Amino acid sequence: MIGSILNLFRNKKTETDNEMKYLITGLGNIGAEYAHTRHNIGFDILDTMAEEKGLTFEDKRYGAVTTYKFKGRNFILLKPNTYVNLSGRAVNYWLQKEKVPVSKLLVVVDDLALPFGTLRLKPKGGDAGHNGLKSIQSTLGTTNYARLRFGIGNNFNRGQQVDYVLGKWDRDEKAVLSEKIEQAIEMIKSFGTIGTAQTMNMYNNK
């Protein structure tokens, strides 16, 4: 009888722990040549978030991982090492390993369609031509996962899109980049504490 009660307690505790877990995935490419490029803004946001608490990423299967604790929540920060085009493999693996439901997944991604520095949280949506989102959608079999879109603008000439996306921030962008990254971090924490809808209402029109 006592054993059954203890097992029930352990199961309830595990369920509660899982309910407080969130998988925050920042998209980007590994390698020095891609560091701090527009396409790697997802990595930079998670790096800044980890640095603020003195956290270190560990290289594990399919990516670098650390856990950020905030108001009773465990944010599992994931930087896939699969390159952007195969991001779905890393996301799917860590969702299953950590038993995080898709409803508690947030993907941080660069977006050409938004002006530089514009931040938009969405509860679901298509891939908008982004290969990372395309891979996640294909692997998970759903578009019903939250994404935080960081606008990188589209200030490039015809045929120069790849060079622009994989290029470094210009001087004017660098001047406000830290402020925008901090806003993205606030939105991530808000996503895990008050939910998608309220976070959208608070931040999407800023």
- As annotated, the active-site residues are 39
Find out whether 148 and 108 touch, Cβ atoms under 8 Å: yes
H or E element at residue 60: strand 58-60
- Which residues, 6+ apart, have CB-to-CB distance to 65 below 8 Å? 57, 58, 76, 77, 78, 79, 94
Left if phi > 0, otherwise alpha if psi is -120 to 50, otherwise beta: which for 68? beta
Q: Residue 37 forms beta bridges with which residues? A: 168
